[in-house]
């Protein structure tokens, strides 16, 4: 398992628990994701400027035996006609799995043809 797998988070729909998108653990309590993913999880307008108050359900899919965890939106920057943002930060309630490790964020630019991985949760 790659080290980044310890930071990948699946965000689920509030009622069906089906996957709506992904995020990345960036601290022991915070997940960085897209506002449109949270909007999909809550069946809300993705351009709403009102910070969602509902609980978000998340899971660490690459870690063994991890339950759904509750999180709340603490930063909300959806797309709008004025700015192209699409950012949400979630704060996890309770404890994260012991083998969850925040991703190390780097400012190193990718070189031409450098290999990389993309993570997501396609609709199946």
3-17 pLDDT tens trace: 889 999 999 999 988
Count the alpha carbons within 13 Å of 43 in the hemisphere toward its beta carbon.
Answer: 6
Domain boundaries, the chain: 3-92
Mean pLDDT computed over every residue of the chain: 88
The architecture (CATH level 2) of 3-92 comes to Beta Barrel (2.40)
The span from the first CA to the last CA of the chain, in angstroms, equals: 23
Could you tell me the sign of the dihedral formed by the alpha carbons of 45, 39, 27, 113, in that order? negative
pTM: 0.85
Sorting pLDDT into bands at 50, 70 and 90, what band is 40? very high
């Amino acid at each position: 398992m790659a080290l980044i797998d310890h930071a990948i988070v699946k965000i689920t729909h509030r009622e069906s628990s089906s996957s709506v998108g992904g995020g990345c653990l960036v601290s022991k309590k915070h997940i960085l994701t897209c506002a449109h993913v949270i909007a999909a999880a809550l069946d809300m307008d993705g351009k709403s400027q009102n910070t969602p108050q509902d609980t978000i359900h998340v899971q660490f899919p690459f870690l063994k035996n991890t339950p759904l965890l509750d999180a709340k939106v603490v930063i909300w920057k959806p797309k709008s006609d004025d700015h192209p943002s699409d950012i949400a930060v979630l704060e996890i309630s309770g404890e994260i799995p012991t083998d969850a490790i925040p991703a190390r964020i780097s400012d190193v630019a990718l070189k031409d043809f450098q290999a990389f991985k993309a993570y997501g949760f396609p609709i199946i």
